[in-house]
Amino acid sequence: MQELPDCLYEGKQPTLITPSSPTPNHSLYLSNLDDHHFLRFSIKYLYLFQKSPSSQTLKDSLSMILVDYYPLAGRIKVSDNSTKLEVDCNGEGAVFAEAFMDITCQEFLELSPKPNKSWRKLLFKVQAPSFLDTPPLVIQVTHLRCGGMILCTAINHCLCDGIGTSQFLHAWAHANTTKAPLLIQPSHSRHMLDPRDPPRVTHSHPGFTRTTVEKNSPTFNICKHLQSQPLAPITLTFTPSLILSLKKTCAPSLKCTTFEALAAHTWCSWARSLDLPLTMQVKLLFSVNMRKKLTPELPQGYYGNGFLLACAESKVQDLVNGNIYHAVKLVQDAKARITDAYVRSTIDLLEDKTVKTDVSCSLVISQWAKLGLEELDFGGGKPMYMGSLTSDIYCLFLPVAGNCDAIRVQVSLPEDVVKRLEYYMVKFLDAKEKEEDHSLAE
């Protein structure tokens, strides 16, 4: 993997893109699902397009779409009671940087096939004292020697979840290619997710913990252990045939979805590769869209955080026996627990600001593969590549450009663990399948 060339910026960079016409000036309430500490980061996408629209067209269409999505042109601030965040919808604008890199699309794919430190130069680094001071939307368009472009976006997770970011990006692309009105109007209000008064925590929530836990707790913190070491990204592509083979390991006694099978398999492989104590209790946290699980459902166009992290728990010894049946069942049970009552209980639980997402002994999986992110088209065709700008110990299920039924599993782990994880992730394949598919590891 080679270092990418530097980005060359011309003129005064970056610029602020403001809404093209006046927008409401008010404070937007953020729900407890929006502003809890686990989401205080930006979702960072990287797109590679073979053809680049003109920068002025992209700026003009962004300015137009920020009229509809005006909170993204605002700024995050702490509310008056100092316990919650809100959006100051002041129309200050989104950050837009433009650069040139002396490289072609094909060279990018060959030289730098997965996230690495040199990718960071593809997104303009805003100088801000803290995350809260960073504008909610930061964009860099990098033009390439071949006429293509790399588009990187950083969208504040407190404003949008994965579905919301996809909705916004498609709206921008729509505005870039047509004057027709948006098919889906954004729904801004978060008050459908208000806590009850008084709050009523009616369910157990194993995915959360309180920060008042004993500091000298004997529990081994996997998350901190991994983050204390140099990490290397691993990317494994599961084609439809490989996914079918994986699902067959549960058949015929247990029917499961692609996500359930792959999440269970990844969790089991992760536990085996880390060589954890057999009696240790570990968790799998994974995102579940709850928009249609509420009564009434969240409105179409709701782009705020409309997901919960479902939690499956198991002793390591039950995950490492080579059969994913047990883990699949746990994933299914965790999904089934996400009901209207469970969501309301979670919102009320998060009124207690000492409550945090429990990542200490957890694998976290975020599902990006079925959000339509890889379908984005600004007028020059769909992307040659779509993925995350960065890689972390949190696992992503990513789409594969040109193959909507394939899934790319991406996670960063210590070098020796990466080799073991790759081994366990592909071990279920028989020799014939291995011969047929040499492209599993990228």
Q: Closest Cα partner for 311 from 333, 293, 291?
A: 333
What sign for the dihedral angle of Cα 377, 172, 237, 113? positive
Task: List the beta bridge partners of residue 9.
Answer: 99
How many Cβ atoms from other residues are within 10 Å of residue 110's Cβ?
11
User: In whole angstroms, how large is the CA radius of gyration of the chain?
Assistant: 22
Instruction: Give the Cα separation of 318 and 61 in Å (integer).
Output: 52
- To the query of whether residue 377 is one of the catalytic residues in this protein, the response is yes
Fill in the DSSP letter of residue 302. B
Let me know how many helices (H) and strands (E) the chain has, helices first.
Answer: 11, 18
Q: Which of 157, 174, 188, 265 is catalytic?
A: 157
- How far are the Cα atoms of 43, 50, 85, 371, 435 from residue 378, in angstroms, in the given order? 20, 11, 33, 17, 38
Q: Please check whether residue 376 is in contact with residue 386, taking contact to mean a CB–CB distance below 8 angstroms.
A: yes
- How far are the Cα atoms of 68, 100, 172, 224, 378 from residue 53, in angstroms, in the given order? 22, 14, 13, 43, 7
Q: Please check whether residue 304 is in contact with residue 34, taking contact to mean a CB–CB distance below 8 angstroms.
A: yes
- To the query of whether residue 405 is one of the catalytic residues in this protein, the response is no
Q: Please check whether residue 204 is in contact with residue 373, taking contact to mean a CB–CB distance below 8 angstroms.
A: no
Q: In what order do the strands lie in the sheet with 281-289?
A: 231-238, 403-414, 395-400, 362-367, 281-289, 307-315
Q: Which of 88, 377, 405, 437 is catalytic?
A: 377
Exposure string of 322-343, with b = 16+ CB inside 10 Å and e = fewer, is: eebeebbbbbbebbebbeeebb
Cα-based torsion angle of the residue sequence 155, 368, 169, 126 in order, rounded to the nearest 10 degrees? 20
**Active centre residues (catalytic):** 157, 377
